Amino acid sequence: MMLSPLKPLPLTVTPVPGESATSLASRIARKNGTASLQSFCADMSISYRALKVGDPVEIERVAALAGCDHTKLRTWTPHAPSKTNYQLGAEAPRFTAYSRSTIRGCPKCAAEALSEYGAHGPFHLGAWQLTSIRTCARHSCMLIEVPPPSHHKHSYDFARMVDNMDVDDIQIVAEEARSLERYLLGRLDGTSAGRWLDTLEFHVAAQLCENFGLLLTRGPRASRAETTERQWLEAGAAGYDVLCNGPDQMVAALEELRLKPGPGCHTYGAIAGSFLTWLSQREDDAAFDDIRQTVFDYILRTYPVLVGSTVLRIRCDRQQVYSLRKGAKAYGINERMLRHKLLERGDISKSGKSGAITYHRYPSRATLQKLANETNGVLRGFDAADYLGLDIHLLRTFVVEGLIKKAGEMARNAPYFRREDLDAFIGRLYRQTRPDLEPANDEVSLIAATPACQCSTLELLHLIFEHNIPLRCAAGADARFNDFLISVERAKTAIGQSSAGAISMSDAAGKLRVDTATIRNLVNAGYLSAAPKTKRSSERWRVVDATSVAAFGEHYIAAADLAHELRRDTANLCRELYKNGVEPLIFNGENRIIFRRRDVS
């Protein structure tokens, strides 16, 4: 049936910019005294049901009654170009972006319209049906919910519903809290800033800003159901202020949240739970796929997600980063060594007393492979000592003296070593060996030679290298430190050669026919002169001035030496001398008896 064209009514109203067709029809109906919008539509042969869903024919008929341009009226009336979207302004937001059943309005706009035009003055803008629009752009106050009518059929009769509205409920908001709304209204007007958000669908941009902002403002445990409209407004602004700069800033903000809690190991759920839960529930909307993939990729390269795990409803097929313990196991790295390397790199840090680890970055596959290559052949101190066949304390002494090179230090100054450096030390000893050298009767291991030579193992090594003392190796290619043999006599000779005009204590003891303990006590008592020591020698390593030994031998003689000259028993000779009043030399220590030559001549 062909409908006759409508003409402007004698009693009509002027449309407000951005007003929806249902709001304009409601105002015209009230001005003409009809009982409701539904009955007015019936009187004007307008389909109320079609008008509610933005049918272009019915919008055009309402525009004709008001005597206005139907194009603008249709632009700001939500209408459905498809089954899933409603067109509004220059955008076609998905139906999930609307709140069609809950009518909200501006109390200031309603109060001003009532004051100026009466009962038919209050209007309703089409943009106010969007859930993300929560304030009035003109008055910067919160939209408030209009009490629902007695029957759902009157839900779009705004001019009558406003009678029960609390126009005194005015909640002013700061302009900075409206940044997201200003952006969304700009998109509805067709304005584009050329930003990343502009590439997203309207409902994706709006909901992403709000839910990401909710994470920023209220934390990972925020309840969406318990969030107030004002909190949603503030969350949307916080989210927009970050996301307007692109997805990299979103990732940077997630990274900042990850590091904020401090020491400990924090899961991605504990850091961004509310946001991730919301995003995972968007799997049925393909418009969110790129966002989910971006966040998924960030989580995989930031958190140790196991293969087979599901994140944001996406399956993880390859683990990208690892925790310290699992990374050490997966790549065959000593866990303590890996911890040290990650501390050196700054990937992790430890708190003072508790020693809890903070992961600034979980080690990636590439990092772990690199560290595995670096630490291949690296040994900790005790393992290096076992490798060389040394005591750990002796190894540390060799390191201090520069005989063995360390690769670095772990916590508490614990050194670690490369095998090639340890082999270089053994190789240096190998170069002192003489395969054609005849075995000597006094050959002992290097460790056993130190008490015989009255010097430290370190001093013995310096003697070997400085005086080129030949060694013999009792093992094959896998020789360790104690497999090298040295002649005690050669070592003693070198000790005497270390100081000009000096002889070793054992040589001095041999000349005077006493033991080295007696020589040491004679030096301490001042009867013999100690020669200057080299810088590397310890307190045990003493050499005696040869001149003082010769001078002492001219004036004194040991009881054993005297008994040998007289072919007497030493003990009987001493008893006889005591009976005849001959006194031995008095000096500190328990030593063999020494007499003055003049007393026994």
pLDDT recorded at residue 5:
66
Phi (first) and psi of residue 535, to 5 degrees: -60, -30
Express the helix, strand and coil content of the chain in percent, nearest 5 each: 50, 10, 40
Q: For 141-204, give the DSSP string.
A: EE-EEPPPPSSGGGTT-HHHHGGG--TT---B--GGGGHHHHHHHHHHTT-----GGGGS-HHH
pLDDT digits (tens, 9 = 90+) for 503-522: 777 778 888 888 878 888 88
pLDDT digits (tens, 9 = 90+) for 144-170: 999 988 777 788 899 999 988 999 999
% of the chain at pLDDT higher than 90: 48
Enclosing domain of residue 527: 503-599
- If asked whether residues 468 and 566 sit together in one domain, one would say no
**CB neighbour burial string for 226-255, b if at least 16 within 10 angstroms, e if fewer:** ebebebbbbbbbbbbbbbbeebeebbebbe
Cα gap 520→447, rounded to integer Å? 22
- If asked whether residues 156 and 243 sit together in one domain, one would say no
Query: Span 341-358, mean pLDDT?
Result: 81
Check residues 6 and 18 and name the one with the higher pLDDT: 18
- If asked whether residues 128 and 210 sit together in one domain, one would say no
* Residue 389 resides in a domain: no
Q: Which two tokens stand for residue 429?
A: 């000893």
Helix axes of 505-512 and 546-555: crossing angle, nearest 10 degrees: 20
pLDDT recorded at residue 248:
95
**CB neighbour burial string for 486-525, b if at least 16 within 10 angstroms, e if fewer:** bbbbbbbbbbbebbeebbbbbbbbebbbbbbebbbbbbee
240: Cα within 13 Å, side-chain hemisphere: 22
Q: Which two tokens stand for residue 354?
A: 């508790």
pLDDT digits (tens, 9 = 90+) for 229-250: 999 999 999 999 999 999 999 9
pLDDT recorded at residue 495:
67
* Residue 368 resides in a domain: no
Q: Report the candidate in 531, 429, 413, 406 with the shortest Cα–Cα distance to residue 481.
A: 429
* Residue 308 resides in a domain: yes
- If asked whether residues 38 and 151 sit together in one domain, one would say yes
Alpha carbon separation from 266 to 5, 69, 259, 260, 275 (Å, rounded): 68, 59, 9, 10, 16
Residue 346 has pLDDT above 80, yes or no: yes
Mean pLDDT across the chain: 88
User: How many domains is the chain partitioned into structurally?
Assistant: 4
Query: Span 42-49, mean pLDDT?
Result: 92
Q: Where are the beta strands (DSSP E) in 24-178?
A: 104-105, 135-136, 141-142, 144-145
From 316, 332, 347, the end of a domain falls on: 316
